[in-house]
Structure 1
Amino acid sequence: MTDPSTATVRLGRSGLVLDDREETLLCASLFYFRLPREVWEARLAQVRATGYRAIDVYLPWNFHETAPGEWDFEGRRDVGAFLDLAHEAGLAVIARPGPYICSEWDGGALPAWLALEDGLALRQAEPKFLAQVQGWFDQAMPLLAERQWGRGGSVVAVQLENELDFFDTHDRHAYFTALRDMATGHGIDVPLIACAGQGDLIGATGGVDGVAPAFNFYPDDRSPFVEAEVRHYADLLGAKGLPLLVTETNRAHATLRRLMASGATLLAPYLQASGYDLGYTPSVGNWGDPGGFMTHDYDFGGFLSPVGEARPETADARALAALARTLGPALARATTTAAQGISVDVPTSDSPSMLLLDGGGTLTGVPNLGEEPGKATFADAHGETVIELAPGSCALVTRDLPLARFGLPGTLRFCSADLVNAGPEGLVVASRGASTAVVETEDGQVVTGTHTAEPGERVTMTVSSGAKQWTITFIHTDDVPAPGGERIVLETLAAEPETLTEAFRLDLETRTGATEAHELAPSSEAVGVYRGRTHYATAVEGLGELLIEGASDIVDLALDGTALPSIAKFGATVRIPLAGASRLDATVETWGHANFDDSRLPGLAIGSLRGLGRVWAIASSEDVTALWTVDGGEQWAGDPAPVRTLAGWSSTRIGRPVTYRRALPVDGTGHYALHLDGLKTPCEITVDGASRIVSPNDPWVHLAPGEGRAVAITMPHWPVDSGGATLLRLEAVRDWQVEAQADHALLALSEKDSAGTAVGLPLELAPGEEAWLDVAVPSGGCSLRFEGAQVRVSAFTRGELLGRVWLEDAARPKFTGGDPGRLWIPGSWNTGAVRLLVHGTAGGERPRLARVTAAASPE
């Protein structure tokens, strides 16, 4: 391990201090695994040009361990090369190797096969899971250790885990102790941090020595209460001699300014540099109602778009970064307090923050949370000063700043613009509108100027103080230069999208047809499909109706060759009438594994498996709505307890828990399913002493053989008709033929040569039909868009999946994260054609791929 005396990174009250340089750090998320390797260097340069000095980088475990024991750190998985490029670009790196990362990434980066190991408990201090984590850290930590800042590399901190305070880890201290010891055992001696997603310091860190807490704040940008909350944590940590590190937050620089004024010494807005989920890597998440598919276009409106377009907010980034550089240690060492003496005529913070700068002076954040321009009036011993507030902005007002630190005489009594440069020749301040600067000279003279600089214009005010004369230069925020001094001009791509109307339909199979026999339908992971598709077939002759439990993500069923509407219900139980059919075919595509533990639906739980789930024939059905014994606690006078229908007890005490009990007519040998029709709120169901929570999104309880003799259902009383209860007797559907089609098999098919026929667009398909198409595309980087209905499209090039879109289908779930209709071809990957796998779906109009358009992108 490196001698601690040579370390060049320390964590102190002023934040992460690199080579004894105390400065509030701005940090952008930039993920190598969401970009082609060919654009890494350019994206790093774009971030550095904004003035941000750091990036945070997840390392997704399942991106590198592609199958059990199979590791890949080559090509676009070469994280070491990415970190080296970051170092060359002058960017510090906060590395985040997990093991769990969230990041709306497939499974939160936890490998899909972990759930197959009996007894393994995810994110717990449990030997089987920790052994798997040790295998991952044995690969990842040496790469980070040899690239630490103190060893000539870029890594200045390592984050362990991610927002653990959202997860039910039973022994947090033991878990984090194990992670910390694994990291330090590999020579990690830069600071270790752990982020709290909802403000629970111990929940996020386990209270383990040597792991500093950090915070992820995602407020409403227009909330008036942001400052008071953030100051609470700044004071809490300051009392421990620790800095407030904000490891994730919103992208808007108006909000970042409010956080800075409230004491944050690290500001790491999540996804300032957007990216793209290439391959089968998006997750299913909890942002929908209740679930959603994350788009391949991974974009929350940061200053760089997924395809590398610099957005106007890059100018705000340069201004805030320049302010932090100029104030340097005075800002990093500052303490925060509630501001006083400010009157604002528009919606603003309930308690604005003011920083007491080290060495004298203050910096006050004054937000305008409204949609209209406004004014703020500052009253102090020097009188009143009025400034303009643009809508949705936060002015950072400097007051009483001694200028000797910059080699200038006098005091900057007031400045409503950003102080973006200072030195012996004078000050440079930047704003988007009129700004006021007030200087008190050494001989007590007051020099005041209010000026507006348009883009490209410089307005200079001269200050004479004693024998020295110097200037204040007013510039527009758009003209704040990059750290190297160069002026940045945003480039726009104004070319009209090109419509692609010709295609070549290939005589190419969409699957091999090679199957293996299984008694019961296996999960996708059990047959080696961690990402991709699994195909199932079985005989259903003589059966009347099926019950399917836990199927996800995209389930396409066909009865005797007739396609049914797609199912995308995140594992919720579904009933399928067979209508006399003799054969069932099913294709289940993994969109992604859950990235956030959500108990409302089976497929949204971390570690939940994919595939067809459990398939049952319904042998009988019985109404069990009646004859429930009611236990309402104090809601009746005494014994005997009433016997009512389920949810049928009425009381004025709404919201109080009521328990309904009865024995169900089970035979002790078969499987059953209890359906709670019309369930309105989550309820607790205890079956033979074992408790579980049932959600209205999936109001089913599976009863294994022998279960169901004693059932208790506890729900809050709400006087409405809650439907009924049905008990279904189940028999397993057996004898399956299964074809595993993992992502690598699909990618191999996408590269096969084939004859075919020229066809035009629009292209119509039958429900359930699939076809391969080759479509010529313009050269260079371009974004593809698709129009049509009842089709899903997967686009491939150069042996990579660019992404998937799903067009106009009532069965389609909500898409979240970015643009669900855009697929990106990086310029370095463009071979002149894209290969499409088009699948027609049932349930609406005839499947139709109407049009494809291509628009130029920067890469």
Structure 2
Amino acid sequence: MTDPSTATVRLGRSGLVLDDREEALLCASLFYFRLPREVWEARLAQVRATGYRAIDVYLPWNFHETAPGVWDFEGRRDVGAFLDLAHEAGLAVIARPGPYICSEWDGGALPSWLALEDGLQLRQAEPKFLAQVERWFAQAMPILAARQWGRGGSVAAVQLENELDFFDTHDRHAYISALRDMAIGHGIDVPLVACAGQGDLNGATGGVDGVAPAFNFYPDDRSPFIEAEVRRYADLVGAEGLPLLVTETNRAHTTLRRLMASGATLLAPYLQASGYDFGYTPSVGNWGDPGGFMTHDYDFGGYLSPVGESRAETAEARVLAALSRTLGPALANARTTEAEGVLSVDVPTSASGSALVLDGGGTLTGVPNLGEEPGTAVFAAEGGLPELAIALAPFSCALVVRGLPLGGFDLPGTLKFASADLVRADGEGLEFASRVPSVIALEGAGGVQTVEIEAPARGGSVLTEVVSGGDRWTVVVHHPEDVPTPDGTEGVISPALPEPESLTGATRLELETRTGETSAHDLPPASEEVGVYRGRTHYAASVAGAGELLIEGAGDIVDLALDGTALPSFATFGATVRLPVEGASRLEATVETWGHANFDDSRLPGLAIGSLRGLGRVWAIASSEDVASLWTVDGGEQWAGEPAPVRTLAGWSSTRIGRPVTYRRGLPVDGTSHYALHLDGLQTPCEITVDGESAVVSPNDPWVHFAPGQGREIAITMPHWPVDGGGATLLRLEAVRDWQVEAQADHDLLALSQKDGTGTEIALPLELAPGEEVWLDVPVPSGGRSLRFEGEQVRVSAFAGGELLGRVWLDDAARPNFTGGDPGRLWIPGSWNTGAVRLLVHGTAGGDRPRLARVTAAASPE
């Protein structure tokens, strides 16, 4: 390890420079909170073995503050111990403490109870929120400060916030300034960065002095326009004397090569080392239709799977990392240009390729093959070389070195041309890597000597001697999978694992799934109001005499029963639900939090950041009235003037498509009741103004609520689109009151899952009634195991090692989209496996009889 007294870190034109070693850094995301502590050291070693020299690490606020004022930095929450292990592994750390992190994590790591504080505004330069952030930073920042690179630790940079340019922060400069000052106040003196999610530098950094911009790029890997876009940002920050830091991007090394050739000196593909969301920690939001549930299996195809499998991209990682090490400062200090000298490419390629003018001489030119077939590129004759045709592997990016002086490597002459990747150069010779035939040209005392080398087979590196006059070079070309790790050992890709075992036996336990301890509430409280920040909340109330209910803002998984008969589940992300209850006397509801929104999506109430969970507001519909007609129209320039036409809502016809039209009318409200306006058939988002206050209504939730006294005069503005606008219905509402509520937080469920109990031996399949819920113990072979479940109309929560391993939802029409990784896989780490997994199995209504058909267990490599 470097002597702490001499260790330095700085941010310069060549990138993040550690101990004066200028090198384009490769950085893998690796998250301690998504892994058992027992595998931290092994995963860090796997990353280091790929040649990546850094990791980025989020610190999730709500992982450490488990309830207001309750802090936990022990066990698998001991981030200090993780950072120490990273240092021992020789890895630098870009620490990302938020306060907001996104990361498809519950609420983006913002504690859910923050939304309960009156007047608090998330991610704003607002005193109440900043005071809460200071509480978090007072816990997290000293841990980072004590482990900074210049003090003998691993932390080389600290990121403030995360992709703030996606969020509507009112005063970005004030907000980021406040975070910067807090960080500095807690002793952070390594570089501070802030990342832009969509290229808005000032939107991410607020233009704050001392906070360097970084970029998150998520392009289509096959896009021909990546290079031109990235060069623009390289030029933009280069004009300020700053490097192009790519703090998140895609995982394919073909794309990473294109970014490197375009000037990136830090490349941090997001989630090269995948992980797992144990507990009630996945988020809701990203990439759904419009909403989705993030899977527990947190995997976007990186080079390490969530259970520790090393995938094929690990070989590509070792090659690119070796090339970066070999070229070192020449690459880090290179100047980016548009590629020159490529005469033709016979496969899909970049619209504007990039090249680097290496510091000290030579160039590195990226030549992508964006197709799935092998191809050929032809380089122009230059410097004594004829036209040269090079082979391009399918979906690849050749990094062609031309004119590289070799004196700095204790070798004679010049590397005039190399279509293979230069992975090592020293006094003993030159080593390359390639999957295809390569062309290598060296210039020495006797002129230029060109050799064509066949593609090496795995385990069959090709060695040749090149002689020019009195100069001699030993040239070795490896298959990429034969490129060694940085310490010289062989890189290993995980072998295929055995077929999964079928687990057919189980014990059905005589254990309660709820305590039954309730408290009385006039109206249904949010889950967070009764201390359920994660977990589930149970509600019951009389609905006698009601014909229909309106449920507003319920989330996430809602299970209802009328007089004991289960109804189909729904997961509508807070969208309003209309429910017939004619003849029923009692409503029971269980609402399970899958997670809080990690993004800020206004299309549905439950996707807004800071939105609460629970049953929401429940109303009996007292009356209904059609209000689709008698709207006066203000079409601006689209009609001649007074008197205003009277049309149905959205019924104005014009050739001016897309121009705004405003419809106005009074509604027959009584001034004392609550009402809901339903815009049935709404085609596009519209703006509704009530009593001078405006809000946008989405077609995904076309409802507007009016408190008593509101709604006498409203205006609806929408872009003209010549389609049937549907109807408008006004519902008078009466609140359903007198609720019995049972709070069942995550720690309550964990306590139930660890109880001892007697049971009955059964064989799967297990059939349940809709709404029935039981505990099962299922024996599991020893070691780490990937568990899979088969069946229909059931939800399964699996527990082991004192933790919730995760949840799966099997074959149910009510199930929402699942996004991220594999929704059917749960992982029991070997260190948590005591020989059995405990399952909470819940049957759902609406389809076939609920059935857990089979459980399988596949060995995992840890």
The yes-or-no answer on 1:692 pairing with 2:695 is yes
- Assess if the C-alpha contact under 8 Å between 1:246 and 1:266 holds in 2: yes
Q: Which residue of 2 aligns with 1:508?
A: 511
Distance in 2 between the 1:645 and 1:704 partners?
25
Structure 2 SS opposite 1:354: strand
- Deviation per CA, 1:277-316, whole angstroms, max 9, x where unpaired? 0000000013110000000000000000000000011000
Q: What are the within-5 Å matches in structure 2 for residues 700-779 of structure 1?
A: 700-779=703-782
Q: Give the count of matched residue pairs.
A: 856
- Assess if the C-alpha contact under 8 Å between 2:541 and 2:737 holds in 1: yes
- Assess if the C-alpha contact under 8 Å between 2:107 and 2:596 holds in 1: yes
Structure 1 SS opposite 2:499: coil
Structure 2 SS opposite 1:254: helix
The yes-or-no answer on 1:379 pairing with 2:380 is yes
Structure 2 SS opposite 1:512: coil
Q: What are the within-5 Å matches in structure 2 for residues 402-441 of structure 1?
A: 402-441=405-444
Q: Which residue of 1 aligns with 2:301?
A: 301
Listed as ranges, the gaps of 5+ residues in structure 1 are none
Distance in 2 between the 1:592 and 1:208 partners?
33
The yes-or-no answer on 1:642 pairing with 2:645 is yes
Distance in 2 between the 1:72 and 1:320 partners?
39
Q: Which residue of 1 aligns with 2:55?
A: 55
The yes-or-no answer on 1:349 pairing with 2:350 is yes
Q: Calculate the TM-score normalised by the size of structure 1.
A: 0.99
The yes-or-no answer on 1:837 pairing with 2:840 is yes
- Deviation per CA, 1:795-846, whole angstroms, max 9, x where unpaired? 0012100000000000000000000000001001000000000000000000
Q: Which residue of 1 aligns with 2:369?
A: 368
Of residues 471-480 and 226-235 in structure 1, the stretch that sits farther from structure 2 once superposed is: 471-480
- Assess if the C-alpha contact under 8 Å between 2:445 and 2:470 holds in 1: no
Of residues 377-386 and 331-340 in structure 1, the stretch that sits farther from structure 2 once superposed is: 377-386
- Assess if the C-alpha contact under 8 Å between 2:446 and 2:470 holds in 1: no
Q: Which residue of 1 aligns with 2:118?
A: 118
Distance in 1 between the 2:497 and 2:203 partners?
49
Distance in 2 between the 1:494 and 1:161 partners?
40
Structure 2 SS opposite 1:676: strand
Q: Which residue of 1 aligns with 2:35?
A: 35
- Assess if the C-alpha contact under 8 Å between 1:409 and 1:465 holds in 2: no
Which residue identity lines up with residue 212 of structure 1 in the other structure? A
Q: Which residue of 1 aligns with 2:196?
A: 196
Q: How many angstroms does 1:472 deviate by?
A: 1.0
Q: How many angstroms does 1:469 deviate by?
A: 2.5
- Assess if the C-alpha contact under 8 Å between 2:94 and 2:155 holds in 1: yes
Q: What are the within-5 Å matches in structure 2 for residues 95-174 of structure 1?
A: 95-174=95-174
Q: How many angstroms does 1:458 deviate by?
A: 1.9
- Assess if the C-alpha contact under 8 Å between 1:538 and 1:584 holds in 2: yes
Choose the corresponding residue for 1:450, options 448, 453, 468.
Answer: 453
- Deviation per CA, 1:653-694, whole angstroms, max 9, x where unpaired? 111111000111111111100000000111111111100000
- Assess if the C-alpha contact under 8 Å between 2:280 and 2:806 holds in 1: yes
- Assess if the C-alpha contact under 8 Å between 2:5 and 2:150 holds in 1: no
Q: Which residue of 1 aligns with 2:327?
A: 327
Distance in 2 between the 1:171 and 1:688 partners?
27
The yes-or-no answer on 1:782 pairing with 2:788 is no
Q: How many angstroms does 1:630 deviate by?
A: 0.3
Q: How many angstroms does 1:443 deviate by?
A: 3.6
Q: How many angstroms does 1:63 deviate by?
A: 0.1
- Assess if the C-alpha contact under 8 Å between 1:451 and 1:474 holds in 2: no
Distance in 2 between the 1:570 and 1:168 partners?
21
Distance in 1 between the 2:599 and 2:405 partners?
49
Q: Which residue of 1 aligns with 2:605?
A: 602
Q: Which residue of 1 aligns with 2:209?
A: 209
Q: How many angstroms does 1:491 deviate by?
A: 2.6
- Assess if the C-alpha contact under 8 Å between 1:331 and 1:357 holds in 2: yes
Listed as ranges, the gaps of 5+ residues in structure 2 are none
Q: How many angstroms does 1:7 deviate by?
A: 6.3
Q: Which residue of 1 aligns with 2:68?
A: 68
The yes-or-no answer on 1:651 pairing with 2:662 is no
Choose the corresponding residue for 2:564, options 557, 561, 564.
Answer: 561
Q: Which residue of 2 aligns with 1:218?
A: 218
Q: What are the within-5 Å matches in structure 2 for residues 484-563 of structure 1?
A: 484-563=487-566
Q: How many angstroms does 1:178 deviate by?
A: 0.3
Q: What are the within-5 Å matches in structure 2 for residues 580-599 of structure 1?
A: 580-599=583-602
- Assess if the C-alpha contact under 8 Å between 1:805 and 1:820 holds in 2: yes
Choose the corresponding residue for 1:673, options 676, 684, 687.
Answer: 676
Q: How many angstroms does 1:465 deviate by?
A: 4.3
Q: How many angstroms does 1:468 deviate by?
A: 4.2
Which residue identity lines up with residue 17 of structure 1 in the other structure? V
Q: Which residue of 1 aligns with 2:479?
A: 476
Q: How many angstroms does 1:470 deviate by?
A: 2.4
Q: Which residue of 1 aligns with 2:314?
A: 314
Q: Which residue of 1 aligns with 2:255?
A: 255
Q: How many angstroms does 1:466 deviate by?
A: 4.8
- Assess if the C-alpha contact under 8 Å between 1:449 and 1:461 holds in 2: no
Which residue identity lines up with residue 763 of structure 1 in the other structure? L
Q: How many angstroms does 1:446 deviate by?
A: 2.5
Q: How many angstroms does 1:227 deviate by?
A: 0.2
Q: Which residue of 2 aligns with 1:186?
A: 186
Q: Calculate the TM-score normalised by the size of structure 2.
A: 0.99
- Assess if the C-alpha contact under 8 Å between 2:250 and 2:269 holds in 1: yes
Distance in 2 between the 1:757 and 1:668 partners?
60
Distance in 1 between the 2:130 and 2:260 partners?
37
Distance in 1 between the 2:591 and 2:487 partners?
52
- Assess if the C-alpha contact under 8 Å between 2:444 and 2:471 holds in 1: no
Distance in 2 between the 1:104 and 1:311 partners?
23
- Deviation per CA, 1:837-858, whole angstroms, max 9, x where unpaired? 0000000000000000111101
Structure 1 SS opposite 2:269: coil
Structure 2 SS opposite 1:285: coil
Distance in 2 between the 1:617 and 1:489 partners?
63
- Deviation per CA, 1:607-643, whole angstroms, max 9, x where unpaired? 0000000011111100000000000111112211100
Distance in 2 between the 1:360 and 1:622 partners?
79
- Deviation per CA, 1:195-248, whole angstroms, max 9, x where unpaired? 000000000000000000000000000000000000000001111000000000
Structure 2 SS opposite 1:222: coil
Distance in 2 between the 1:452 and 1:125 partners?
58
- Fraction of identical pairs, as percent: 82
Structure 2 SS opposite 1:571: coil
Which residue identity lines up with residue 170 of structure 2 in the other structure? H
Of residues 58-67 and 280-289 in structure 1, the stretch that sits farther from structure 2 once superposed is: 280-289
Structure 2 SS opposite 1:147: coil
- Assess if the C-alpha contact under 8 Å between 1:493 and 1:857 holds in 2: no
Which residue identity lines up with residue 335 of structure 2 in the other structure? T
- Assess if the C-alpha contact under 8 Å between 1:410 and 1:465 holds in 2: no
Q: How many angstroms does 1:5 deviate by?
A: 10
Q: How many angstroms does 1:433 deviate by?
A: 1.3
Q: Which residue of 1 aligns with 2:577?
A: 574
Distance in 2 between the 1:192 and 1:442 partners?
49
The yes-or-no answer on 1:358 pairing with 2:351 is no
Q: Which residue of 2 aligns with 1:292?
A: 292
Q: Which residue of 1 aligns with 2:336?
A: 336
Q: Which residue of 1 aligns with 2:264?
A: 264
Distance in 1 between the 2:744 and 2:369 partners?
54
Which residue identity lines up with residue 244 of structure 2 in the other structure? L
- Assess if the C-alpha contact under 8 Å between 1:436 and 1:451 holds in 2: no
- Deviation per CA, 1:164-204, whole angstroms, max 9, x where unpaired? 00000000000000000000001100000000000000000
- Deviation per CA, 1:712-766, whole angstroms, max 9, x where unpaired? 1011111111111000001111000000000000000000000111111000000
Choose the corresponding residue for 2:631, options 625, 628, 633.
Answer: 628
Distance in 1 between the 2:113 and 2:53 partners?
38
Structure 2 SS opposite 1:284: coil
Q: Which residue of 2 aligns with 1:791?
A: 794
Q: Which residue of 1 aligns with 2:812?
A: 809
